Chain A
Amino acid sequence: MTELEKKIKAKIPGADTGIEVKHSLCAICSPGIHCGVDCYVKDGKIIRVEGTPDHPLNHGKLCTKGSSLRNYVYREDRIKTPLKRVGERGEGKFEPISWDEAYAIIAEKLNAVKQAYSPHSVAFFSGYCKWYRPILHRFAHVFGSVNFGTDDSTCFASMNIANKVTAGCGGAPDMGHANTFLGWNYEGYYSNHLSVAGVQKLKERGGKVIIIDIRDTPASKNLADIFLKIRPGTDGALALGMAKLIIDNGWADMDYVEKYTYGFEQYKALVEQYPLDKVCEITGLDADQVFEATKLYATNGPACTNFSASALVHHINGFNSHRAILCLSALTGNFDRVGGNYPIPPSYVHKAAGFRSREEEFRSNRYPGGQERIGAERFPLWNAQNDEFQAMDLLRQMEEEKPYPVKAIFGFGMNAKMFPETDKLLAVMKEKLDFFVDVDLFMSMTAKYADIVLPACSSLERSELKPYEGGFMTFTKPAIQPLYDSRSDVEILCDLARLMQLDDELLLKGHEACVDWMIDGCGLTVADLKASDKPIKIPNATWPVQPGKLLENGFKTPSGKFEFYSLAIASIDPKYGLDPLPSYRDPLEDQNDPETKEQYPFYLCTGARLPHAIHSRTHETPWLRSLRPDPTCEVHATDANRLGLHNGDTVEMSSPYGKIRMKVKITTKSQPGVLMALHGYTEANVNELIGRNHLDPYSGYPGFKGMRCNIRKIQEG
Chain B
Amino acid sequence: MKHIFVFDQDKCSACSACMMGCMDQNDIDLAAGDQCYRQTFDNEIPLADGSTYCAYISAACMHCTDAPCITACPVGCLSKDPETGFTVYDNTNCIGCKSCAMACPFGAPRYRASDGKMVKCDGCNERVKHGLQPACVCACSFGALTCVTEDEYKASGSSKGCNFLLEQLALKKK
Contact = CB atoms under 8 A, between A and B. Distances in A.
B52 interface: yes
Contacts of A216: 52, 54
A529 B25 CA distance: 31
B13 A222 contact: yes
Given A48-B24, A68-B24, A222-B10, A627 B19 contact: yes
Given A51-B138, A668-B44, A611 B25 contact: no
Contacts of B11: 200, 222
A667 B44 contact: yes
Contacts of B125: 10
Interface stretch (A101-109, A186-194, A206-214, A356-364): A186-194
Interface stretch (A58-66, A91-99, A248-256, A484-492): A58-66
A77 to B, nearest CB: 14
A63 B142 CA distance: 10
Q: For A50, A51, A196, A669, which residue has the most chain B Cβ atoms within 10 angstroms?
A: A50
B37 to A, nearest CB: 13
B136 to A, nearest CB: 9
A627 B30 CA distance: 11
B142 A193 contact: yes
Interface in B30-45: 30-31, 36, 44
A661 interface: no
Interface string B75-99: 0000000000000001000000000
Nearest to A189: B13
B30 A626 contact: yes
Contact of B17 (A6, A611, A668): A611
Interface string B51-70: 01010100000000000000
Given A12-B132, A67-B21, A622-B31, A611 B16 contact: yes
Q: For B12, B17, B52, B135, which residue has the most chain A Cβ atoms within 10 angstroms?
A: B17
B151 interface: no
A373 interface: no
Contact of B44 (A61, A62, A66, A669): A669
B11 to A, nearest CB: 7
A624 interface: yes
Contact of B127 (A12, A193, A669): A12
Contacts of A222: 10-11, 13
Interface in A10-65: 10-12, 48-51, 60-64
A407 interface: no
A67 B17 contact: yes
Interface string A603-635: 000000001100000000011101100000000
A669 B54 contact: yes
Interface string A176-199: 000000000000011001101100
A71 B26 CA distance: 12
B23 A623 contact: yes
A472 B77 CA distance: 50
Given A61-B141, A221-B54, A622-B30, A612 B16 contact: yes
Given A7-B126, A12-B130, A667-B44, A190 B15 contact: yes
Contacts of B21: 50, 67
Contacts of A200: 11, 142-143
B20 A218 contact: no
A623 B30 contact: yes
B127 A10 contact: yes
Contacts of A9: 126
Interface string A116-152: 0000000000000000000000000000000000000
Contact of B24 (A60, A70, A667): A70
Nearest to A193: B141
A275 B13 CA distance: 36
Contacts of A627: 16, 19
Nearest to B136: A67
A49 B138 CA distance: 10
Contacts of B17: 62-64, 66-67, 193, 611
A62 B13 contact: no
B12 A218 contact: yes
Contacts of A194: 141
B139 interface: yes
A4 to B, nearest CB: 11
Contacts of A70: 24
A66 to B, nearest CB: 8
B124 interface: yes
B16 to A, nearest CB: 5
Given A622-B31, A627-B16, A189 B132 contact: no
5 contacts: A193-B15, A197-B142, A222-B11, A627-B16, A668-B44
Closest 5 pairs between A and B when the two form their complex, measured CB to CB:
A10-B126, A218-B13, A67-B20, A189-B13, A611-B15
Given A48-B135, A50-B139, A189-B15, 14 more contacts: A10-B124, A12-B130, A48-B25, A49-B24, A50-B138, A64-B20, A193-B15, A197-B142, A218-B14, A222-B13, A623-B30, A627-B16, A668-B52, A669-B54
